[in-house]
Amino acid sequence: MIDDRQIIERCLSGEKEAFRFLVERYQKQAVGHSLTILGNREDASDATQEAFVDAFQALKSFDAARRFYPWFYVLLRNRCFKLINKRRVAENIENAEILAPQSGVSNEERIALERALRELSKEEREIVTLKYLDGFSYDEIAGLLEIPRGTVMSRLFHARKNLQAKLTGKFH
């Protein structure tokens, strides 16, 4: 399989079509991340599309020593927040499906958790899902959100605390 760096080199050498490989490789993940912030499928697709266009235009500044997706995530996040400011779509996430159904996890548990996640602020929802759904390390999250590691630890603490408080009401 052609790797991200080769694709970027081909794009930079003028082969714009090669960018398709990056879009197809990361679009589902990116829409999933946008959905966690925006809570609306259509807005998530729009923001992701804009972010990919931004990424294409900024490929020259991409540091080949880095991985593509964390670099792209910063652009994606910026696009999501721009859209929130523009459309004021921030807290309207009643219908967002953040979690995927899967075997071994009861629907009741997933739905309760999903509702609790929706009640968190977008910043808390974002950080807690980056950590526990995507498995990013503290340092990686610090890079994605452009904040110090200590702030990641502190935000995660408050996000967990709020999540637990919301869950207490859902399970009892």
User: In 3D, which of 58, 17, 27 has the Cα closest to residue 7?
Assistant: 17
C-alpha torsion 39→79→62→31, nearest 10: 20
Distance CA 118, CA 115 (A): 5
Work out whether 72 is an interface residue with another protein (CB under 8 A).
no
Cα–Cα distance for residue pair 89/39, rounded to 1 Å: 8
Give the per-residue contact string, 28-47, with another protein (x = CB under 8 A; - = no).
xxxxxx-xx----x--xx--
Q: In whole angstroms, how close is the CB of 153 to another protein at the nearest point?
A: 5
CB of 41 to another protein, least distance (A): 6
Q: Does 23 bind another protein (CB under 8 A)?
A: yes
Q: How far apart are CA 68 and CA 70, in angstroms?
A: 6
Tokens describing residue 50: 């804009």
State how far the Cα of 22 lies from the Cα of 69, in Å rounded to an integer: 9
Least distance from another protein to the Cβ atom of residue 89, Å? 17
Compute how many other C-beta atoms are within 10 angstroms of the C-beta atom of residue 94: 9
Interface residue with another protein, options 5, 74, 90, 134 (CB under 8 A)? 134
- Does 73 participate in binding another protein (rule CB under 8 A)? no
Residues in contact with another protein by the rule CB under 8 A: 1-2, 15-21, 23-24, 27-33, 35-36, 41, 44-45, 48-49, 52-53, 56-57, 97-100, 102, 104-105, 109-110, 113, 128-129, 131-134, 137-138, 150, 153-154, 156-157, 160-161, 163-164, 167-168
